[in-house]
Amino acid sequence: MLVLTAMAGNTGWHNLIPFNSRYAPHLPNYSMSAGGRTFPSAAGFHVSNLFFTDDSGTYFFETKHAPQLVQPTSLKDLPIETIMSAHRDRVRQLSDRRLKLPPQDPHVEGHNQWVANCPGSLFVIPVADLAEHNIANLCYYLQNGYMLYDDIHQNDIPGLEQFHDLVDPNRVIPLSFLEQYTLLEANAELVSACYAGALMLQAMGLGGWMYNGVNPYSVLGASGDPAVPGLGFDYQVEEHWTLPNVLGLQGVFEGHCPPYYPSMHEAVLAVVDRKFGLNGPFHEKTPGPWKDSGRVRRSAQIHSERFIACISRQAQYIYDQFGKFPGTVPTMLAFMYLQAHHLDLNFYDQYYGPGAYLNTHANHMKDWHSE
């Protein structure tokens, strides 16, 4: 729980984005999370969650939608046991077995086959919903005066001319740029979470490392090998695609696109509801860190029906044109992982010089496993 909470734990309330002259006198409204977490997220979108596996099974650790889990009055009033208990309640067991990842190609790269996801280890898998992030980016750019242009097919998006009251038609953002931006921004969540976890490993005196030498399609469940079901995510394949597109895990972590939503309009409405609905960052009844949190939260401008219609038209165009959403990057992204295990200190003592490991490693068994 210490490692997991370091990676993606709730840190209290998200303080939101305080200023943008284009939004004045309103509070900028592009964040999607009311709660803060241990890693940075572009504009407070927060589109990732953790899966993890160990000898006891496979689990889902959901903190994306967590409110402030512990109410502090001072730092002294935050015992670690209270924080761990609150986060332990966010864990959901998916299986009583360790995730099956055969130590061979194409599932695990050669240099990791001897150790990746080995018995006795903790293997943590951050996963991001790029579909949700892409919708949030469409909202962000429209709010800042840009509409989409399909530079892949050299097409204007049909029907956007009716929304010229919302945006200057000469201000366009290329679809390929938008989706690469989505990929990079969401991946920053995954990488930062793993780095925070790696720092916790060192503090606790555990071995392990962050790495990407495991096939994400094997991890998520889209390897095509029925003997390697991975996490069991749904995925789609098309003849003209070189790789499958992972969509989500039904009832657990679903991408913001069909088949989990009837159309992209409904997926957009889900994002809008996350922002402005009850428990969202811009709902006046959502608690917060301010002395008058209701006043702060309701000062953000709610997306109008025309705004939502413009976003929906762009999102639906992408889905119809490419057969998936986003069109040029995956719907679900797994890229970086964190592993934790005990070190064999005798190995380092025999083959390495002084300083090969930290004092926390030297004292780990005494400090953590005195029995």
For residue 148, give the nearest of 303, 315, 308 by alpha carbon.
315
Give, as one character, the DSSP assignment of residue 28: P
Query: What are the tokens at 236?
Result: 């789609």
pLDDT confidence of residue 169: 82
pLDDT value for 371:
79
Tokens of 365: 């068994």
Residue 21 structure tokens: 């002259």
| 26 burial level (CB within 10 Å; 0-12, 13-18, 19+) | middle
- Beta partners for residue 237, in sequence order: none
Q: What is the pLDDT of residues 320-331, one digit of tens each?
A: 999 999 999 999
The tokens describing 27, both together, are: 């509070």
pLDDT for 22 equals 87
**3-class SS of residue 13:** strand
The predicted structure's pLDDT at residue 71? 81
pLDDT tens sequence for the chain (371 residues): 999 999 999 999 999 999 989 888 999 999 999 999 999 999 999 999 999 999 999 999 999 999 999 887 666 677 888 899 999 999 999 999 999 999 999 999 999 999 999 999 999 999 999 999 999 999 999 999 999 999 999 999 999 999 988 988 889 999 999 999 999 999 999 999 999 999 999 999 999 999 999 999 999 999 999 999 999 999 999 999 999 999 999 999 999 999 999 999 999 999 999 999 999 999 999 999 999 999 999 999 999 999 999 999 999 999 999 999 999 999 999 999 999 999 999 999 999 999 999 999 999 999 999 87
- Name the residue among 342, 363, 345 with its Cα closest to residue 354: 345
**Which ranges of 221-331 would DSSP assign to H, the alpha helix?**
264-276, 293-298, 305-322
Whole-prediction pTM: 0.96
Percentage of the chain with pLDDT > 70?
A: 99
pLDDT score for 142: 95
Contacts of 171 by beta carbon, 8 Å cutoff, 6+ apart: 145, 146, 147
pLDDT score of 75: 62
Q: Closest Cα partner for 157 from 146, 145, 147, 171? A: 147
